[in-house]
Amino acid sequence: MIKVAHLLDDFAMGGVTRALTLFDEPALAARAHSKVIPVNSDARLAPCMEADLIVDHMALSWKRLVFLASLRARNPKARIVHVEHSYTASFERVHVTSKARFRAMLKIAALLVDEFICVSNAQKNWLAQVVGIKADKLSVIYPWTDRTELFDIDTARKHRSPKSRLLAYGRYAPVKNFDALIDAMRRVPPDIVDLTIFGDGPEREKLEELSVDLGNVRILGPSDAPGTYLADCDAVIIPSKSEAFGLVATEARMASRAIIVANVDGLPEQVGGGGFVATMGNADEISQAILDAAKRDLVQMGIQGRTEVRGQSEEIILRWIRLFERATEQFAEETMAPEARAMIEATS
């Protein structure tokens, strides 16, 4: 059994911290002993760890390159991988002023680790084709959720009516574009759709103020039981400005709810027959997507989405097992006697 250390500096990272419960799953726990190591985000000197595999979940920056170099130097026998939870083509477009400098930082980070784990195929393609990281350094493992109870939700909400119910949830932050979503509801006839948003974050008060005069919009606080809200909606709308993967879309499909997603990053690859992709950069575009949704068979889309998402959890576990196997092979090579290694190299 190998030893795995997960490095994390922010325990309020929502889906990231929740996804780490994956390693308690029997298929993975039988192969690796996993431990979360808290790390100060300002740390320059990495700890020495008794680990065969070190998984870095922290956000990359120029400052953190020093930490990664130290991590490599102080743990020379460990396989080191970085999971990129945040940076995407849309993130770069929205937030980055110097693209050349930003991409240089990512390429240097890739040189300091053995493998770069992407959370969507779109992210991998951007890192390989635009940023310039070698494709053989990149692999894809989708984020995981343990909310299997969502599969038990009825395929359609009870007491359905001609008026649709939309749901959005997540962190109340600019990247989620919830302010434009609320503004879009002013452009939609109030007898067509209701919108519920739940979550928490720095923009909560702003969103409450934006919706105060809208009778068909509710802004609610955080909840760790999204199933309650998913069961009472017809579709989930995700108008994010950037989204490396979008675990909300996975949870909606598990709950048999249609998804309406922005055409950014990892969101479109989750849709399949379970919803549709729309340009949702501003309120006018979002309102058009909402009007479009009202004309579609959302129940059938939800059923199809649930069918397509089944088996995703098993695929995620399988890809982590393969990563464990790569770490095991590296450890075996590192500890192999020089004579044995020379014989293998001579016959290969």
Do the beta carbons of residue 202 and residue 230 sit within 8 Å?
Answer: no
Q: What is the pLDDT of residue 197?
A: 97
Where does residue 199 fall: left (phi above 0), alpha (psi -120 to 50 degrees), or beta otherwise? left
Q: Look at 153-167, 203-217, 245-259, 298-312 and tell me which has the smallest mean pLDDT.
A: 153-167
Indicate the helix (H) or strand (E) that contains 213: none
| Residue pLDDT, tens place only, 64-111 | 999 999 999 999 999 999 999 999 999 999 999 999 999 999 999 999
Q: Look at 16-30, 47-61, 133-147 and tell me which has the smallest mean pLDDT.
A: 16-30
| Residue pLDDT, tens place only, 332-342 | 555 544 553 45
Instruction: Say whether pLDDT at 115 is over 80.
Output: yes
Instruction: Say whether pLDDT at 61 is over 90.
Output: yes
Between 264 and 331, the more confident residue is 264
| Position 327 confidence tier, pLDDT thresholds 50, 70, 90 | confident
**Mutual angle of helices 247-254 and 298-309, in 10-degree steps:** 110
Most confident range, picked from 11-20, 38-47, 203-212? 203-212
Signed CA dihedral, 166, 171, 177, 183: sign only: positive
| Position 43 confidence tier, pLDDT thresholds 50, 70, 90 | confident
Q: What is the pLDDT of residue 337?
A: 45
Report how far residue 45's alpha carbon sits from residue 263's, in angstroms, rounded to the nearest whole number.
Answer: 40
Between 290 and 146, the more confident residue is 290
Q: What is the pLDDT of residue 343?
A: 43
Instruction: Say whether pLDDT at 317 is over 80.
Output: yes
Instruction: Say whether pLDDT at 54 is over 90.
Output: yes
May I ask the CATH class of domain 2-144+312-347? alpha beta
Tokens matching residue 211: 């919706």
Phi, psi of 72 (to 5 degrees): -65, -45
3-state class (DSSP) for residue 266: coil
Query: Does domain 148-309 match CATH 3.30.70.1520?
Result: no
| Position 16 confidence tier, pLDDT thresholds 50, 70, 90 | low
Name the nearest CA neighbour of 59 among 87, 36, 89. Answer: 87
Residue range 176-183: mean pLDDT, rounded: 97
Do the beta carbons of residue 317 and residue 22 sit within 8 Å?
Answer: yes
Residue range 9-16: mean pLDDT, rounded: 61
Instruction: Say whether pLDDT at 117 is over 50.
Output: yes
Q: What is the pLDDT of residue 13?
A: 44
| Position 11 confidence tier, pLDDT thresholds 50, 70, 90 | low
Report how far residue 168's alpha carbon sits from residue 95's, in angstroms, rounded to the nearest whole number.
Answer: 23
**2-144+312-347 against 148-309: fold identical:** yes
Q: What is the pLDDT of residue 21?
A: 81
Do the beta carbons of residue 312 and residue 120 sit within 8 Å?
Answer: no
What average pLDDT is seen over the chain?
91
Per domain, the residue ranges of the chain are: 2-144+312-347, 148-309
Residue range 223-235: mean pLDDT, rounded: 94
pTM: 0.88
